[in-house]
Amino acid sequence: MSEAIAAYDPAVDAPAHHHPIYDYDSGPPVERGKFAIWLFLATEIMFFSGLIGAYIVLRSAAKSWPDPAERLAVDLTAGNTFILIMSSWTMVKAVFAAKKGDQGGLVRWLIGTILIGSVFVGIQVFEYIELYHHGALPSVDIFWSTFYAMTGFHGTHVVIGVIWNLCVLIGALRGKYTAKNNLGVELAGLYWHFVDLVWVLLFTIVYLF
């Protein structure tokens, strides 16, 4: 009996009605996670476009609009923009380290990204506190309403990105990511870069226009 089992060759002995096994996936020709994150990012673009569109309408309809440079610390925020761009660069480094299977590099660059992202959030919180002490509340006028709506929603996205990167860091410390299995790092990276991209536009529209 055991000799019969050993002699069984599926290619020859399998019944003729058995279907061949294809290396085939009926889904889209891209990883499901990546498909989902890009679809999500497309909706996020529309979300921020709605906010910016509302800002344009309100600003254009206002009889007057104050110069943002007279109300906001443009120099501080320009520095903060540098910081967020730097964090995008460290995230690129983390993704490349993951793809090379460099566990140490992945952990180091992720920690760098998290720290720099936290500094960005810290500076934004500092800015909010300063503005609060000077009576600049969202209820004061439409300038502050739109300012807090746009920068607040973006800041929330940065906080979520920091938390997401922390989760990825925990996974990296546990050895979850390898040179062949690193999609989780890449997805977090895509979200983080998107947050950076949105800030580049918001900084221009809110602080420099």
Partner 1 sequence: MSHDHAHADAGHDDHGHDHGGHFSENKILFQLLVFTVLEVGWGLAGKHFGWNKLSLWGGLLFFAFLKGWLIAVYFMHLKFEGWVVKSLILPTPFLVMVIMGYVMPDVADAESPLAHPVGSAVDPATGRVIEDIGPQWSKPDAEHDKGH
* Least CB distance to partner 1 at residue 96 (A): 5
Handedness of CA 193, 87, 75, 139 (dihedral sign): positive
Selected range binding partner 1 among 2-10, 13-21, 87-95, 166-174, rule: CB under 8 A: 87-95
Check binding of 72 to partner 1 (CB under 8 A): yes
Return d(Cα 76, Cα 123) in angstroms, integer. 8
Distances in Å between the alpha carbon of 181 and those of 39, 51, 184, 186? Answer: 21, 37, 8, 10
Check binding of 69 to partner 1 (CB under 8 A): yes
Check binding of 147 to partner 1 (CB under 8 A): no
Of 96, 127, 101, nearest to 113 by C-alpha is 96
Q: Helix, strand, or coil here: 102?
A: coil
Interface residues toward partner 1, by CB under 8 A: 28-31, 34-35, 38-39, 41-42, 45-46, 49-50, 53-54, 56-58, 60-67, 69-74, 78, 81-82, 85-86, 88-89, 91-93, 96, 99, 130-131, 133-136, 140-143, 182-183, 186, 190, 193-194, 196-197, 200-201, 203-205, 208-209
